[in-house]
Structure 1
Amino acid sequence: RFARGDLPAEICPPRFAAEICPQCNLPASELPAEFFPAEAKHLILERGLRLFELEHCDEELDWSADSADEIDAELNMIKGGGGCLLQEKIVDTAAGTLVIVCDESKYSSQFGQKWKGGIPLEVVPMAWSLVKRRVESQFGGKALLRESLGKLGPVVTDNGNFLLDWHFEQQHNWEEVDFQLHQMPGVIETGLFIQAASKIYVGKLDGSVSRLVLK
């Protein structure tokens, strides 16, 4: 049983679940972290895999495959650039093993070196301005309400919340920052994934793959 998170299609398409898993004798079930399009669902079901949502799952997940917006030298991750950080963290936490797959553009010595989108924060709509002020006052930088592209108003998550993108100005103890952010009323979840991955595989331009492990 595994969950596919927000891996880009070129890295982990639905066909991976439909064709590779049976060949590797993996358990014949998949739990999606996000809604699959109709054609992807058909492909998965056609290959004999079971497709279901987390709330209907009464078994432990063996592993979850996901990606990241940025990974630092301590193997902390920023995730949620696509706006699904809360659901991703729930699914990744539900899995016994979290496997991260990305290319070398996602790996840097420290946060902000390559990823310029800030750290996403999912917040209760009525509290977004309060959280914005508290984050900027306590940690510095700018916390910007994420606006929708192509329509009026802010981005609304699948859970009905708003997103703040915190553009920090300096490096922090990210584990401590994550803890303090969770203490702020109105903060639902953060895009900080502190040493959450069991295995990280980084693809390089020369075709080689590096495996990163916690020290």
Structure 2
Amino acid sequence: MTSLVEQSKKSAAYQAVDDNLKPSYKIIGIGSGSTVVYVAERIGQLSNKSQFTCIPTGFQSKQLILSNGLKLGSIEEFPNIDITFDGADEIDSDLNVIKGGGACLMQEKLVASCSKKFIIVADFRKKSPTGQLGVNWRKGVPIEIIPASYTKILKELKEFGAVKAEVRSGGSAKAGPVITDNGMFIIDADFGAIPPAEVSKLHNKIKFLTGVVDVGLFVNMVEKTYIGEENGSVSTMGN
């Protein structure tokens, strides 16, 4: 299964780059996650790679850009991005996605929001079998917050429907919470299955809470998804 998953990721990433990276593009956003590894690899293979400036969404994507011999830029220098390639934790039938499993959601959303075109690459496990978010991805909606606000926000999330909400732990390698690249905490809030029609409402409700930096629900941002299927083929959704 592992080799099939990796091959599906690679196939999706390579096709996404080949289909969408136009010669006229100069500024490329490079997202985070295991599938985006192959996006950076593919761009790094191109003969004209020196013409591109790549904008990272966090430490991992910065390392991907550098290790593939690509030119590194910053969002401060280049706020107008031609295209961004990124991964997802789950994709619904309306191309809304959950992101933030790798704790880079705010910078990922910043780069995506500056992009003329936003492409998601993923393997077959990330496509919701029912078309709703929160079905395959059961860890909850990631929410980046100011550390001092966590008690207040946990209480508020549970008040308006979160089955479970908790500050993400650093795990065995770290005592205490995960700290994002922005010095923030992440809360994972489980709302169960979220119908496509409710995603925007939930996003806005969470985003409005004082102390929330951003929400790992990307609504009406994705132009097209490339899904590496289990049989090795690549399926697409969107335009």
Q: Normalising by the residue count of structure 2, what TM-score does the alignment of the two structures yield?
A: 0.79
Whether the 8 Å CA contact 1:21–1:28 is kept in 2: the answer is: no
Classify 1:199/1:13 alpha carbon distance in 2 versus 1 (closer, same or farther; 3 Å). Answer: closer
Return the alpha-carbon distance in structure 2 between the equivalents of residues 123 and 199 of structure 1: 29
1:202 maps to amino acid: I
Unaligned runs of 5+ in 2: 1-26
Q: Is it true that 1:197 corresponds to 2:215 in the alignment?
A: no
Report % sequence identity: 31
Corresponding position of 2:57? 33
Moved segments of 4+, more than 4 Å: none
Q: Show CA shifts across 1:127-174 (max 9, x none).
A: 111001001001231111101121111111111111100011353511
Unaligned runs of 5+ in 1: none
Please report how far the alpha carbon of residue 28 of structure 1 lies from its aligned counterpart in structure 2 after TM superposition. Answer: 2.5
Corresponding position of 1:53? 74
Please report how far the alpha carbon of residue 88 of structure 1 lies from its aligned counterpart in structure 2 after TM superposition. Answer: 0.3
Larger relative contact order, structure 1 or 2 (CA cutoff 8 Å, min sep 6) = 2
Corresponding position of 2:86? 66
What is the Cα-based RMSD across aligned positions, in Å?
A: 2.1
1:156 maps to amino acid: I
Task: Single out whichever of 162-171 and 142-151 deviates more from structure 2.
Answer: 162-171
Corresponding position of 2:202? 177
Return the alpha-carbon distance in structure 2 between the equivalents of residues 171 and 21 of structure 1: 43
Q: Show CA shifts across 1:35-87 (max 9, x none).
A: 333x851541xxxx421111122x62110000100001121100000000000
Corresponding position of 1:148? 170
Q: Which has the higher helix share?
A: 2
Corresponding position of 2:185? 162
Corresponding position of 2:154? 132
Q: Show CA shifts across 1:97-138 (max 9, x none).
A: 001111111001212221121100011111111001001001
Task: Single out whichever of 77-86 and 175-184 deviates more from structure 2.
Answer: 175-184
Q: Show CA shifts across 1:163-200 (max 9, x none).
A: 10001135351101111111111111000001211111
2:113 maps to amino acid: T
Return the alpha-carbon distance in structure 2 between the equivalents of residues 15 and 182 of structure 1: 34
